[in-house]
Amino acid sequence: MKDAFANKSVLITGANGFIGSHLVRRMVEENADVNIIVREGSDLWRIESLLKDINILRADLRDTEKIDLYIRKIKPDYVFNIAAYGVDSRQNNNIIAANTNIIGTLNMLNPLISVGCKKFLNIGTCMEYGDKKEIIKENTFLEPINIYGSTKAASTILAHQIAGENNIDIVTLRAYGVFGENEGSHKFFPHIILSILNNKDVNLSGCEQYRDYTYIENIIDGFVLAAQNDAIKNELFNIGTGRVHQLKYYVNKVFERMKTDNKPNFGAIPYRSKDVWNPHPDISKITEILGWEPKISFEEGLDRTIKWYEKNKGKSK
């Protein structure tokens, strides 16, 4: 439904990040009244062209009083809680992770108990499940193996409990691999693409881990469908393609489409400790309940991504 968000008050955290910036753009296109919460000094390069169309609120999610004040002032119809600490493996402060991912989420939810909203949309992660060998369903036992996964798991559990007890409709999408335009240059796809564009060695691990990568706009479709579906009150969905490939597969796809004579240097860097090896989602629930499926193929998404980096190779950070 186009314009389902027209003139609706939308509040987005993590708006200057990879996923959040794509969501901001979609909500602007949907003619929503877009409000974002970002920290003082945040680099807004990803949403630079959208700043005239959004209301910027400066606060750290850990600042209980300021977040409470903003939410009571805005009275959002929809809250998209996309901010998280630890997505970047370089973010490894346990205290900041707990305070941002757990307390920050509670700070977003608590004012809504009295203010109300149509729906609270939350971003989860496959890292909540840990390193599973079996195909992962939403009720699979949570065994996170790093601080990011454990704080996100705790956040999800608490958010759904508090929302359920206070009649706040809530949906969490547990995302698997996500790629697309304006992702950070240190991430998997940008690292390969930018190395090729800059004629640098593409140094990689052995890339034998399996991953399910979904183009970013398909993930945003999932959030839109979840927000629009009034029948779901308290649900959690895996979101991915449902198919896994070794990282080598994705590396080779990038090299094929960029038509380079360079070769990937597999094994040039060590594997990360505490990595997951085969996060394979069962996506039947989101398909059946929301009618979601990836509309944009991996190949088309990759072509869009490569073109963006070709035009913006000096912009990505």
Residue 313 pLDDT: 84
3-class DSSP assignment, residue 281: strand
pLDDT digits (tens, 9 = 90+) for 20-48: 999 999 999 999 999 999 999 999 999 99
Whose CA is closest to 184, among 24, 49, 17? Answer: 17
Task: Please give the single-letter amino acid code of residue 280.
Answer: H
Question: What is the mean pLDDT of the segment spanning 247-265?
Answer: 95
Residues of the chain with CATH 3.40.50.720: 9-178+215-240+281-294
Which range has the worst mean pLDDT, 134-138, 140-144, 310-314? 310-314
For residue 2, name the pLDDT band (cuts at 50, 70, 90).
low
Residue 253 confidence (pLDDT): 97
Our CA angle for 223, 227, 229, nearest 5°, is 120
**Residue 57, SS3?**
strand
**Model confidence at 131, in pLDDT bands (50, 70, 90)?**
very high
> Where are the alpha helices (H) located in the chain, listed in sequence order?
18-29, 64-74, 94-98, 104-109, 112-115, 147-165, 188-197, 216-228, 247-258, 284-290, 298-312
Mean pLDDT value across residues 125-147: 97
Which residue intervals of the chain bear CATH 3.90.25?
Answer: 184-210+244-279+304-312
Closest alpha carbon to 156 in 199, 106, 115:
106
Q: What is the mean pLDDT of residues 140-166?
A: 97
Quick: pLDDT tens for 189-245.
999 999 999 999 999 999 999 999 999 999 999 999 999 999 999 999 999 999 999
* The predicted structure's pLDDT at residue 289: 98
List C-alpha distances in Å: 152 to 63, 81, 113. Answer: 19, 12, 21
As a whole number, the mean pLDDT across the chain is: 96
CATH architecture of 9-178+215-240+281-294: 3-Layer(aba) Sandwich (3.40)
The whole-number pLDDT of residue 1 equals 57
pTM of the predicted model as reported, rounded to 2 decimal places: 0.97
pLDDT, tens digit, 9 for 90 and up, residues 68-83: 999 999 999 999 999 9
Question: Percentage of the chain surpassing pLDDT 90?
Answer: 92
- CATH fold of the domain at 184-210+244-279+304-312: UDP-galactose 4-epimerase; domain 1 (3.90.25)
